[in-house]
Amino acid sequence: MTTVVKTDPAKPSDASIEAAAEVIRNGGLVVFPTETVYGLGANAYSSEACLKIFSAKERPPDNPLIVHISDIGMLKEVAGNVSREMLCKLEEVWPGPVTILLPKSKEIPDTVTGGSTLVAVRMPDNILSLELIRKAGVPIAAPSANISTRPSITDSKHAIEELDGRVDFIFDCGPTVQGIESTIIDVSGGECTLLRAGAKPVEELENIFGPIRLTDFSRGLLESTVPLAPGMKYRHYSPRKKLYLASSEPFIREVSGRNEFLGKILIIGSEETCSKSRLQCISLGNENNLDEVARNLFSALREFDKTQCDIGIIQPFGEKGKGLAVMNRIRKASSGYVGSLDSLLTFLA
């Protein structure tokens, strides 16, 4: 039985926090909003509770979980050897959509880190999550709340559709603010490496952490092969229907002007692209407002699956700022690129 409770994530009711905190303390699973996406949380100190996350999500056991903390004091309990200098940097980015890899403390079970000696930690910028962690009295291990390989969940209506019956408690708080997951960096090797582009732009993090090394994986390039983080080797963010990334904006506009694709191809693109289209569209928002595009992306992928169209084509966006994360998710959600009408016809055949 899943308890679903509606509350305001910025001003959650005491009763809802108390009920969910009790679930966490008793080793159960709670789906809760963060500023990025919904998380599927359990007591990070309990191996048994965390194992339930993997089965509810159908997640491979070697793909580790992010540990969420509510204040900097809690960091000492989950990670060891954090220098003063690093603490100051973390205080600049937290609470916020930044996850950092640090040496794990012995209190964090191997189940959480997939056997690694490093633990991924973040302090979410969301009042409900912070109060939940505080009230539970333990850090909360939580991956994104989607079933493995599916798009992350950014609206509680999708959490209820996908997880009712699989978890103990779901917070029904509507859409999240950022809509895209946290940025993950690894500072353990002396240099700072981007493991996953996310809601916090790399350019802003470089002002705090110094130069950050980007890899093909950080950009989500389809042809890259060597995973840096365990989760990188798995399929991600995939709608059930085939989605193709248009090789250019003019190409997606050309396709969207052709009546013969009506009912067959769905266009996912900017407001500008959608307003000129003759085909069914899902708008991601203004193409110059990447915050809006990021916020709408995962919900759009889920809504695409509910349409009658055979395949989808999604528009590429610029890769500056949040665009790096947006394009990373789009590339991973896509089955490939499409840049000519001939290849499009073979995908439709």
Chain contacts with ligand TXA (rule: CB under 6 A): 34, 36-37, 39, 63-66, 97, 99, 101, 113, 116, 118-120, 142-144, 181-182, 184, 229-231
- Is residue 312 within 8 A of residue 273, CB to CB? The reply is no
Query: With respect to ligand TXA, which residue has the nearer C-beta, 101 or 265?
Result: 101
- Is residue 208 within 8 A of residue 302, CB to CB? The reply is no
Find which of ligand TXA, Mg ion, none residue 116 binds, CB within 5 to 8 Å per kind: ligand TXA
Shortest Å, Cβ 290 to Mg ion: 20
By CB under 5 A, how many residues form the interface with Mg ion? 1
Quick one: which of 144, 256, 270, 283 contacts Mg ion (CB under 5 A)? Answer: 144
Find which of Mg ion, ligand TXA, none residue 119 binds, CB within 5 to 8 Å per kind: ligand TXA
- Is residue 151 within 8 A of residue 243, CB to CB? The reply is no
Shortest Å, Cβ 143 to Mg ion: 5
Nearest residue to ligand TXA on Cβ basis: 231
Distances (CA, A) of 338 to 207, 240, 255, 317: 37, 18, 11, 15
Separation CA 315–CA 265 (nearest Å): 13
Nearest to 139 by CA among 49, 245, 208: 49
Query: With respect to Mg ion, which residue has the nearer C-beta, 252 or 326?
Result: 326
| Binding segment toward Mg ion, per CB under 5 A, in 142-150, 190-198, 285-293, 311-319 | 142-150
What φ, ψ does residue 190 adopt, rounded to 5°? 90, -40
Q: What is the DSSP letter of 125?
A: S
Find which of ligand TXA, Mg ion, none residue 321 binds, CB within 5 to 8 Å per kind: none
Query: With respect to ligand TXA, which residue has the nearer C-beta, 159 or 313?
Result: 159
- Is residue 163 within 8 A of residue 47, CB to CB? The reply is no
Separation CA 129–CA 10 (nearest Å): 10
Q: Which residue has the tokens 């973040």?
A: 122
Binding flag, residue 99, Mg ion (CB under 5 A): no
The footprint of Mg ion on residues 153-192 (CB under 5 A) is none
Which residues are near Mg ion by CB under 5 A? 144
